[in-house]
Amino acid sequence: MQETDIFQNKTNSLKALENTSDNVKALEDVKMKRELHHRQVDLARSTLRKDKEKAINGECTVLAFDLQKTISLPKVPTGVVYYKRQLSCFNLGIHDMGTSRGTMHLWHEGIAGRGPDEIGSCLMKHLNANPTKETVVFLSDSCGGQNRNFKLVTILMRIVQVPAQHVKEIIQKFLIPGYSYLPNNTDFSHIENKMRCNQKIYYMNEILNIMETCRVKKQKLGVVEMKCDDFFSSESLTSVLRNRKKVDGLTVAWMKIRCIRLSKEKPNVMQFKYTHNDDVVYYEISFSKRARGRTPNLHHIALNLKYPRGRPLTSAK
């Protein structure tokens, strides 16, 4: 064997050892991240259990909300309709953890969409129609476009600042994706099971009837049909505030936020943290614009209707 071959074999052996050590390190990093993720999941589930106990004991109001998967109309037993333009119906379920009662808020795409303004409007309507404690805890998934954004925060800020609304504190918690375990899933399953028994569904009234009658032994679901007058835009609120991106020189990572707190004593201030751990202190960021005069009180600002005449559909649909 020539010296060049011996040298090449030694070089290859060293590279193999280096690759092995790199693989071990990479494997350790993966295991560490997985362990951290599992701890976050356990902490989120523990938080959900504790909040449910508080709600049952009457310490606070805990509401879990989630959007059901889109319901398409008409529903008929033929595959041809799948390729046709169907009307999309949206349903936001709000589940009271203290009373175990689910309330469905149903509308179709010709009335409104399914963005943060629509979610916030449903939450406002529910709070105005039902008694609550001074502290309201919202539990939701981590969808950024619907639940975790500046627009929804401004709507919740306004709710806290309304004098007629006795809610003094709103805490919104975002559960871990894939491990949310929200009770809304059980409510939705009863609706979907009942819908499977109906081969043909043409109108929204039929969906409303299914929601009202899908439970026989358990507590019946509350059903609210949302109209155009029920959906408001957050544009008038966001125009008087400033969506700051940094706090103490650090960028606000919205998609990593796990808990948001809004209080009457700190108007236009969002407290947030990246964990469900109660021992961790909140960061604070003010959305008030730096201008002379008093901080604008959001409850003085009128909310405009999102779609006064309904949401326009495409001519083809």
Instruction: Supply the DSSP string of 180-199, one letter for each residue.
Output: ---THHHHHHHHHHHHHT-S
Q: Is 229 helix (H, G, I), strand (E, B) or coil?
A: helix
Residue 262, both tokens:
């809004």
Tell me the average pLDDT across 123-141: 94
* 233 phi/psi in degrees, rounded to 5: -100, 145
Helix, strand, coil percent values for the chain (each to nearest 5): 40, 20, 40
**Could you state, in order of their start, the residue ranges of all structural domains in the chain?**
44-300
Least confident piece of the model among 9-13, 199-203, 292-296: 9-13
Whether this model's pTM surpasses 0.95: no
- Cα(42)–Cα(56) distance, rounded to whole angstroms? 21
Residue 16's pLDDT band, with cuts at 50, 70 and 90, is: low
Tell me the average pLDDT across 15-27: 64
Instruction: Say if residue 7's pLDDT is above 60.
Output: no
- Cα(179)–Cα(43) distance, rounded to whole angstroms? 11
8 Å CB contact between 263 and 169: yes
CB atoms within 10 A of CB 63: 22
The residue written with tokens 């979907």 in the block is: 192
Q: Which residue has the higher pLDDT, 226 or 19?
A: 226
**How many whole angstroms from its chain centre is CA 251?**
22
Q: Check residue 1 and give its pLDDT.
A: 47
Q: Which residue has the higher pLDDT, 8 or 290?
A: 290
Nearest to 73 by CA among 200, 202, 191, 195: 202
pLDDT in tens, 51-96: 999 999 999 999 999 999 999 999 888 878 777 889 999 999 999 9
Containing H/E element for 32?
Answer: helix 3-56
Residue 166, both tokens:
């006795």
Instruction: Say if residue 219's pLDDT is above 70.
Output: yes
- Cα(195)–Cα(66) distance, rounded to whole angstroms? 19
Least confident piece of the model among 59-73, 118-132, 237-251: 237-251
